[in-house]
Amino acid sequence: MIDFREITKSSKLYNFHSHTQFCDGRASMEQFVTAAIEQGFTHYGFTPHSPVPIASPCNMKAEDVPAYIDEFRRLKNLYGNRISLYLSMEIDYLGPQWGASNNYFASLPLDYRLSSVHFIPSITDSNEMVDVDGNFLSFRKKMGTYFCNDIEAVVRSFYAQSLAMIEAGGFDVVGHFDKIGHNAGHFRMGIEQEPWYVQLVERTFEAIMDHHLIIEINTKALRDHCRTFPNEHFYHLLRRYHAPLLINSDAHYPELINAGREETMSLLATALQPK
């Protein structure tokens, strides 16, 4: 496994969560590499949304994985003396049948594994997995179609999936572990401060620590939505547990690979000060 602690001690300019032409990113891998070098990054990891055994326009196709690996090797040979590059995936957890612990991912030459929850089972049809990670307009439609507008059930399902993902293991970094809070907060203002919601976050955080995983501080939504994942409200948990962290931009555009980093580092510096 990569020594993330050493990397974060020696460098502020790293990113281990990004998406390119192999999934829903908006530029080629090479464009991301050259942008990272131009901005002085020392370490950069690629994490296309993993193949999944269900229809998804955001996830890479299994048949494209060899081309992804070949392109990574080409770029590492070409630019490896200027930046440290890493091969990875953002592996979706769909339940016992699919996740980072699946033998398929063990067969790939990944340098590390980042795992996230984007899909939860529909209330109206438990055999159907629904992506709850998109924009709020899409989420609001899905709430009526798949979840009977029961936002508490959706949130509980998301965190149940997260806990099951953590228990199943097979990965190193937890991606945006409270991402559901963004859409849920738009659907019902203040939901992230409700005691039952806070308890779910704390339980998930404790599970992450118990399994010695790394928590991603995801800066993707900071510019447009003034929040990170996890929400700044929960930074006190980072201090309480001395949690190992990575600050990642979840970049889909080369110009955003450093988005929100300085602001987040400032927020963390304040939150992590001893009380």
User: Residue 20's pLDDT band (boundaries 50, 70, 90)?
Assistant: very high
Is residue 50 within 8 Å of residue 58, measured between CB atoms?
Answer: no
| HEC string for 2-25 | CCHHHHHHHCCCEECCECCCCCCC
pLDDT in tens, 26-58: 999 999 999 999 999 999 999 999 999 999 999
Is residue 231 within 8 Å of residue 224, measured between CB atoms?
Answer: no
Could you tell me where the beta strands, DSSP code E, fall in the chain? 14-15, 43-46, 84-87, 90-92, 114-116, 119-121, 129-131, 173-174, 214-218, 245-248
**pLDDT value at residue 32:** 98
Is residue 189 within 8 Å of residue 230, measured between CB atoms?
Answer: no
pLDDT in tens, 88-142: 999 999 999 999 999 999 999 999 999 999 999 999 998 899 999 999 999 999 9
Closest among 198, 201, 229, 233 to 216, alpha carbons compared? 229
pTM value > 0.95: yes
pLDDT of residue 79 exceeding 90, the answer is yes
Query: Collapsing DSSP states into helix, strand and coil, what is residue 119?
Result: strand
